[in-house]
């Protein structure tokens, strides 16, 4: 069974469109930013010229339907006209950092060409490994999407590594994942996850347990680099917005673990830039850049982040005896103490009413001792626990039977309306 679609999909067919229709003309290097209404979707199509969303070039006269709460920008390098159906009052803007992002894309492409033209492919001659860092809502995921889409459009096959456990771009929050990008990202469906490698961290707030997952992801990432094109293409790594204290330590851990060759710091983060340069002053071949973030970035408060985690659901049930529930735990020691590679503990969990509204990961592991090294197949959310008949009722994006009896509990909850 492939990894299921993330718990974020909203059924736009069940929502009425606004009857507001208008056309917008974008000039050269202009963009228009959208925040789709909370209760009604937005339809958009390209009438003339060329425009793109997250590096994906829109085809002409093809309607795209964007679900409620989605936030995105339409950009044009040479000008274009779009038609919009839905509630929106935004206007085109010239204030955009796209040129600096595009220049970085050209720089990464040159690095890939150098590696591809080398006579052999050793570990030291792999494509650029780019890690994007910055505070919350600094456009890290947006830049990652554009760099990946532009690279795929040029024929490369970079690997996307998502370390943002708080608001994953690939699947649900609380996960760390990697996937091969072979074509520009669909602006609505997002990154392809049918072959994604997903590890369930289980919490939206990172700690050392999250850091211990990075080496496992790194080892599995090389599965995507078995051919020369993928190896030459390198990887783009998105990170969380926690850049102080233990968050900074985890950031350093990620840079070292993936042997990053380029660090992009987004926004006016002079202290972060200086700290990184000081931490890696003896590391050769590491480039640290500071790029502007978009002045029109949409800020997502905690309520928005919670509301946006919705899905198309199927209702199913399973008996207590057919599953095994566990939780991954680390000690309560300090961060510095936990860095000594103490093993994670796998603890069995009693099935009772406290599981209602909890999100569980479905592990591919066959035995409990394989859980830490195994990826997950997907996720379910518990809606009811019937103690009398020993049955759990759950919702899931898939109606298929559970591919494994081992379920992993974290701290994620999803309240069903």
Q: Which run of H or E residues covers position 56?
A: strand 56-57
pLDDT of res. 190: 84
Whether 12-95 shares its CATH topology with 98-291 is answered no
* Residue ranges with strand state E in 91-218: 129-133, 159-162, 175-180, 197-200
Q: What is the CA radius of gyration of the chain?
A: 22
In whole angstroms, what is the distance from residue 156 CA to residue 166 CA?
A: 29
82 touches 46 (CB < 8 A): yes
- In the chain, domain spans: 12-95, 98-291, 313-413
Long-range CB pairs of 265-269 (<8 Å, 24+ gap) are 265/133, 265/134, 265/289, 265/290, 265/291, 266/132, 266/133, 266/134, 266/138, 266/139, 266/140, 266/143, 266/291, 266/292, 266/293, 267/134, 267/135, 267/138, 267/292, 267/293, 269/134, 269/135, 269/243
Neighbours of 273 (CB within 10 A): 16
In whole angstroms, what is the distance from residue 161 CA to residue 152 CA?
A: 15
CATH number belonging to domain 12-95? 2.60.120.1030
- Ordered DSSP codes for 267-313: SS-HHHHHHHHHHTTT-TT-EEEEEPPPTTPPP--HHHHHHT-----
Q: What is the pLDDT of residues 249-302, one digit of tens each?
A: 888 988 988 899 999 999 888 999 999 999 999 888 899 999 998 765 544 555
Torsion, CA 26, CA 80, CA 106, CA 140, rounded to 10: 50
Looking only at the bridges linking them, the beta strands covering 235-238 and 159-162 are parallel
Superfamily of domain 98-291: P-loop containing nucleotide triphosphate hydrolases (3.40.50.300)
pLDDT of res. 222: 58
> pTM (2 decimals)?
0.78
In whole angstroms, what is the distance from residue 373 CA to residue 396 CA?
A: 24
Q: Cβ neighbours of residue 162 under 8 Å, at least 6 residues apart?
A: 168, 169, 170, 175, 176, 177, 178, 237, 238
Looking only at the bridges linking them, the beta strands covering 56-57 and 80-85 are unpaired
Query: Which CA distances in Å does 214 have to 94, 142, 240, 252, 258?
Result: 39, 22, 13, 12, 8
pLDDT of res. 192: 76
pLDDT of res. 293: 84
Superfamily of domain 313-413: Pre-mRNA cleavage complex subunit Clp1, C-terminal domain (2.40.30.330)
Query: Which CA distances in Å does 14 have to 38, 54, 68, 185?
Result: 13, 26, 11, 25
In whole angstroms, what is the distance from residue 341 CA to residue 338 CA?
A: 6
pLDDT of res. 40: 84
Q: What averages of pLDDT result for each successive group of 10 residues across the chain (417 residues)?
A: 36 48 93 86 95 95 89 93 85 87 96 85 74 89 95 94 84 84 89 78 65 58 60 91 86 89 92 95 92 65 48 72 85 45 76 92 86 84 92 79 87 75
* Residue with token string 């909203």: 10
pLDDT of res. 32: 92
In whole angstroms, what is the distance from residue 308 CA to residue 380 CA?
A: 17
In whole angstroms, what is the distance from residue 273 CA to residue 290 CA?
A: 7
């Amino acid at each position: 069974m492939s990894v299921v679609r993330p718990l974020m999909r909203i059924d736009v067919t069940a929502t009425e469109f606004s009857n507001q229709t208008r056309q917008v003309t974008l000039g050269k290097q202009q963009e228009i930013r959208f925040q789709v209404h909370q209760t009604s979707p937005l339809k958009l199509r390209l009438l003339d010229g060329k425009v793109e969303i997250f590096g994906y070039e829109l085809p002409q006269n093809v309607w795209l339907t964007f679900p409620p709460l989605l936030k995105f920008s339409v950009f044009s390098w040479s000008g274009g006209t779009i038609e919009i159906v839905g509630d929106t009052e935004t206007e085109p803007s010239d204030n955009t950092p796209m040129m600096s992002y595009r220049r970085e894309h050209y720089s990464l492409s040159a690095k890939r060409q150098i590696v591809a033209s080398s006579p052999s492919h050793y570990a030291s001659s792999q494509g650029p490994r780019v890690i994007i860092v910055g505070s919350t809502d600094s456009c890290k995921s947006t830049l990652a999407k554009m760099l990946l889409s532009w690279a795929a459009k040029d024929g490369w096959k970079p690997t996307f590594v998502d370390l943002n456990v708080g608001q994953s771009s690939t699947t649900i929050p609380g996960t760390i994942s990697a996937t091969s990008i072979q074509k520009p990202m669909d602006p609505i469906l997002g990154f392809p996850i049918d072959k994604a490698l997903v590890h369930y961290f289980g919490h939206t707030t990172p700690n050392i347990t999250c850091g211990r997952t990075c080496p496992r992801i790194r080892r599995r990432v090389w599965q995507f680099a078995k051919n020369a094109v993928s190896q030459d293409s390198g990887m783009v790594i998105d990170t969380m917005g926690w850049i102080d204290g233990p968050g900074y330590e985890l950031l350093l851990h990620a840079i070292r673990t993936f042997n990053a060759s380029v660090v992009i710091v987004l926004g006016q983060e002079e202290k972060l830039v200086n700290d990184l340069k000081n931490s890696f002053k003896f590391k050769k071949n590491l480039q640290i850049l500071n790029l502007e973030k978009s002045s029109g970035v949409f800020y997502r408060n905690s309520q928005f982040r919670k509301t946006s985690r919705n899905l198309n659901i199927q209702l199913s049930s399973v008996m207590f005896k057919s599953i095994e529930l566990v939780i991954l735990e680390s000690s309560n020691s300090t961060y510095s103490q936990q860095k000594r590679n103490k093993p994670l503990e796998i603890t069995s969990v009693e099935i009772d009413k406290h599981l209602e509204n909890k999100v569980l990961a479905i592990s591919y592991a066959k035995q409990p001792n394989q859980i830490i090294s195994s990826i997950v197949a997907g996720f379910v959310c518990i809606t009811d626990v019937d103690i009398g008949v020993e049955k759990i009722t759950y919702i899931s994006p898939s109606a298929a039977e559970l591919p494994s009896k081992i379920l992993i509990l974290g701290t994620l909850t999803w309240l069903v309306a």
